[in-house]
Amino acid sequence: MPIYSKEEAQALLKKVLSYSKADECEVSLRGNDGGNIRTALNAVSTAGDISTVGLAVSSVFGKKTGTATINEFDDASLEKVVRRSEELAQLAPENPETMPMLGPQKFEDSIQYNAKTAAMTPESRAEMIGKAFDVTKAANLQAAGFLENTTRFTAVMNSKGLFAYDKSTDVIYSVTTRNAAGTVSGYAARGFTDVSKLDTASATKIASQKALSSANAKAIEPGKYTVILEPVAGVYMLENMFRFDARSAEEGRSFLSKKGGGTRLGEKLMDEKVNIYSDPFNTELPGPTWSNEGQRLERTDWIKEGVVKNLSYSRYWAQKKGVQPVPGPSNIIMDGGTTSLEEMIKSTERGILVSRLWYIRMVDPQSLLLTGLTRDGTFYIENGKIMFPVKNFRFNESPVIMLNNVEALGKPERTISVESYRSYLIPPMKIRDFTFTSLSDAV
């Protein structure tokens, strides 16, 4: 039984806490249940079905903490794991950053769980993949894709009276469509809480259209271009920026550090169209309602009208700095605008439409300079029209510079990062002066 209900989890955690003799004790229980199918060349390559559940106990004596875990839940095992954590705490070095545990908090139930997603089976996954294959076979293309569903729960209780429970589901699907000769390629990615919103056939159709349109790509000179980043491209770029950590900024080793000391909190770093925030109750992208440190999560603005509005402060760092703690982002939502993708193209004199970015790595953490490449559908725009597909580019660009050069934003869409598989709500973006530094022959 990897997924416990709130009541089942509460009963078990209470029992574990009753064995504690430490100054403070925290018990966590979590489980995962899910499966996946991976495909290539219009066939299944691997598929799996995985379930796990585990319990962790942290005991604290003064500033000394010890943690032990177990996955056997009889009374003797539960008491044993508590004793173990206490022994470990006594052996541990003191950590001056240890904070007292929080007492009772009020958390609203999150809206991250969907029963239909939780009920997915190997058969239903195979059926969804079959629909994708129908599309690619009809288009004489080959699908390489990945479908994964996960149901998870986490519950925590401590000796100060805190209790929190969360249950969530996720399903993600991504597909790359190529021809047998390997001369064209297209991509689509989707992520949802509710599997009934996932249409593998329509996503695969978009990837197939991209692939078919990408034939005979021409080489054009690298340089500074206006780019239109579709959400799946934009999110991978921005994901590397979502570290609004006060401590590293105050220590002088972040892009949010200020020359001469201090942070850039309150400074206008980006275009005023840029609003980035977290909100656990966004229906398109629900998030957890409590943080790693047992704090209530609420809507938090990170960038508002281009100004750095909040930095995250851990409880330890907040106490040291004499400010209120601010939990880090629970999810990331970027406001959009009203410009459609078509309108963005129409208003572009000379630019590049980017479907996907790839292999983004940090070059310079001070300016947040990133490098990476375009992939799976890159198109040249001239005088408001897509003229032809172009060969891929390598870029060297900072997301901070990029968000200073925003020309237009579209309607936000839930999308997944192609590398971390995290979901975000991000608009398509039209950006001027995006720096491409070289060409790639890769398809």
Partner 1 sequence: MRRRDFIYLSGLGAGSAMIANSAFGKSIYQEQLLTTIDIRAKKELADVALNTAKAKGASYADIRIGRYLNQAIVTRETRVLNVANSESFGVGIRVLADGCWGFAAGNTVTKEGVAKIAERAVAVAKANAKLGSKPVQLAPQKGFGEVSWKTPIEKNAFEVPIKEKIDLLLTANGEAIKLGANFVNSTIFSINEQKYFASTDGSYIDQDIHRLYPNFQVTKIDRDLGAFETRAALSSPVGMGYEYLTPSESEKVQGVVTRYKNRYDMIEDIKNATKNATEKVAAKSVEPGKYDLVLDPSHLWLTIHESVAHPTELDRVLGYEANYAGTSFLSLEKLKSGNFHFGSKNMNIVADKLQAGSLGAVGYDDEGVKCGKWDLVKDGVLVNFQAIRDQAHMIGLDHSQGCCYAQSWDDVQFQRMPNVSLQPGKEKLSVDDMIKNVEKGIYIVGNGSFSIDQQRYNFQFGGQLFYEIKNGKIVGMLNDVAYQATNQEFWNSLTAVCDQSDYRLGGAFNDGKGQPSQSNAVSHGSSTARFNGVNVINTKRKIG
Q: Which of residues 383-402 bind partner 1 (CB under 8 A)?
A: 392, 394, 396, 398, 400-401
Shortest Cβ distance from residue 386 to partner 1 (Å)? 22
69's tokens: 């875990």
Kindly identify the residues of this chain, within the stretch 9-38, that bind partner 1 according to CB under 8 A: 26, 28, 30, 35-38
Q: Out of 15, 273, 422, 432, which residue is the one contacting partner 1 (CB under 8 A)?
A: 422
State which residue, 102 or 353, has the beta carbon closest to partner 1.
102
Q: Crossing angle, helix 200-213 and helix 122-138, to 10 degrees?
A: 30
The three-state secondary structure class of 72 is coil
Shortest Cβ distance from residue 363 to partner 1 (Å)? 5
Near partner 1 by CB under 8 A, which window of 14-22, 142-150, 336-344, 382-390?
142-150
Specify which residues 425 forms β-bridges with: 333, 414
The alpha carbon dihedral of 412, 413, 419, 421 has a sign of positive
State which residue, 345 or 363, has the beta carbon closest to partner 1.
363
User: Cα-atom radius of gyration of the chain, to the nearest Å?
Assistant: 24
State which residue, 247 or 430, has the beta carbon closest to partner 1.
247
Q: Which long-range contacts (CB under 8 A, 24 or more apart) does 309-314 make?
A: 309/265, 309/266, 310/244, 310/265, 311/244, 311/245, 311/246, 311/249, 311/256, 311/263, 311/265, 312/244, 312/245, 312/246, 313/246, 313/247, 314/247
Kindly identify the residues of this chain, within the stretch 77-116, that bind partner 1 according to CB under 8 A: 84, 87-88, 92-93, 95-97
- In one-letter notation, the amino acid at residue 122 is P
Q: Out of 16, 82, 129, 416, which residue is the one contacting partner 1 (CB under 8 A)?
A: 129
Phi and psi torsions of 235, nearest 5°: -70, -35
HSE (side-chain half, CA atoms, 13 Å) at 109: 7
Binding-residue pattern over the window 239 to 278 for partner 1, x denoting contact by CB under 8 A: x--xxxx-----xxx-x-xxxxx--x--x-x---------
Kindly identify the residues of this chain, within the stretch 277-336, that bind partner 1 according to CB under 8 A: 287-292, 294, 297, 312, 327-332
Please tell me the distance from the alpha carbon of residue 19 to that of residue 10, in angstroms, as a whole number: 15
Please tell me the distance from the alpha carbon of residue 118 to that of residue 61, in angstroms, as a whole number: 40
Size of interface with partner 1, in residues (CB under 8 A): 129
State which residue, 70 or 409, has the beta carbon closest to partner 1.
70
72's tokens: 């056997």
Shortest Cβ distance from residue 93 to partner 1 (Å)? 5
State which residue, 207 or 344, has the beta carbon closest to partner 1.
207
Q: Out of 106, 216, 361, 383, which residue is the one contacting partner 1 (CB under 8 A)?
A: 361
Residue whose pair of structure tokens reads 């909100």 in the numeric block: 279
Q: Out of 4, 146, 277, 379, which residue is the one contacting partner 1 (CB under 8 A)?
A: 146
Please name the residue ranges forming H helices in 339-426: 341-346, 399-404
- Tell me, rounded to whole angstroms, the distance of Cα 100 from its chain centroid: 30
Kindly identify the residues of this chain, within the stretch 199-238, that bind partner 1 according to CB under 8 A: none
Q: Out of 359, 382, 385, 387, which residue is the one contacting partner 1 (CB under 8 A)?
A: 359
What Å distances lie between residue 345 and 189, 220, 228, 254, CA to CA? 22, 18, 8, 35
Binding-residue pattern over the window 154 to 183 for partner 1, x denoting contact by CB under 8 A: x-x-------x-x-------xxx-x---x-
State which residue, 318 or 439, has the beta carbon closest to partner 1.
439
DSSP state of 235: H
Binding-residue pattern over the window 38 to 67 for partner 1, x denoting contact by CB under 8 A: xxxxxxxxxxxxxxx-x-x-x--------x
Shortest Cβ distance from residue 338 to partner 1 (Å)? 28
Query: Contact between 70 and partner 1 (CB under 8 A)?
Result: yes
Residue whose pair of structure tokens reads 């100060």 in the numeric block: 160
Give 295: exposed, middle or buried? Use CB within 10 Å, 0-12, 13-18, 19+. Answer: middle
Q: Out of 90, 140, 196, 420, which residue is the one contacting partner 1 (CB under 8 A)?
A: 420
- Taken as a whole, the chain contains a residue count of 443
Shortest Cβ distance from residue 343 to partner 1 (Å)? 29
Q: Out of 12, 22, 68, 334, which residue is the one contacting partner 1 (CB under 8 A)?
A: 68
Q: Out of 24, 148, 250, 279, which residue is the one contacting partner 1 (CB under 8 A)?
A: 148
Give 254: exposed, middle or buried? Use CB within 10 Å, 0-12, 13-18, 19+. Answer: buried
Shortest Cβ distance from residue 256 to partner 1 (Å)? 10
> Quick check: 143 and 136 in contact, CB under 8 A?
yes
